[in-house]
Amino acid sequence: MVHDHDHSDDHGDHHHDNQYSDMQARVKALETLLTDKGLIDPAAIDAIVDTYETKVGPRNGAKVVAKAWSDRAFAEWLKADATAAIASLGFAGRQGEHMRAVFNTPECHNMVVCTLCSCYPWAVLGLPPVWYKAPAYRSRAVIDPRGVLQEFGFSLPDGVKIRVWDSTAELRYLVVPLRPVGTEGFSEEQLADLVTRDAMIGTGLALVPEDIR
């Protein structure tokens, strides 16, 4: 396992990810008030958040991966300058300004963590999952990445190296998973349907065609 640190001495931007901003605090207070008055259902709010975490938000990243799978020139651009390549598809914004794409290979699996807080490419992957911010994931992903992946439901062969990338306030990562076999002739839209949020963090694999039939 190789753990690549890219933290500078100045982590001034990190605290914004780890604490409520004024607006977030106001939203949280309003949600609590409305819940107490019986005007909103917390379960419905959770369902909406889950939709944006796992379905709507990650569609941007899925489109990036699908294009990289089907367009070799774009894949090379993504490797060389992920920020520009991703922006060319219209996906840029808060916490996604500086990006690096790391490509899985049969010999090396990439995995992303933020050990200091929860730096995450919102513009590409949507809302960060709760577990991504949890201290247990942030520490164990570095110490025992293979064990963490097993807890997410899959095991890598012993010969496959795991490389852990540490996100910072200055640089965020997108994992490009291996393209599933049996997808020759798939359109970019069909390929995007195979790309999950977890696959783009490195805690999962791309779906195979049978999974979506």
Residues identified as active-site: 114, 117-119
SS3 assignment for the chain: CEEECCCCCCCCCCHHHHCCCHHHHHHHHHHHHHHHCCCCCHHHHHHHHHHHHHHHCCHHHHHHHHHHHHCHHHHHHHHHCHHHHHHCCCCCCCCCCCEEEEECCCCEEEEEECCCCCCCCHHHHCCCCHHHHCHHHHHHHHHCHHHHHHHCCCCCCCCCEEEEEECCCCCEEEEECCCCCCCCCCCHHHHHCCCCHHHHHCCCCCCCHHHHC
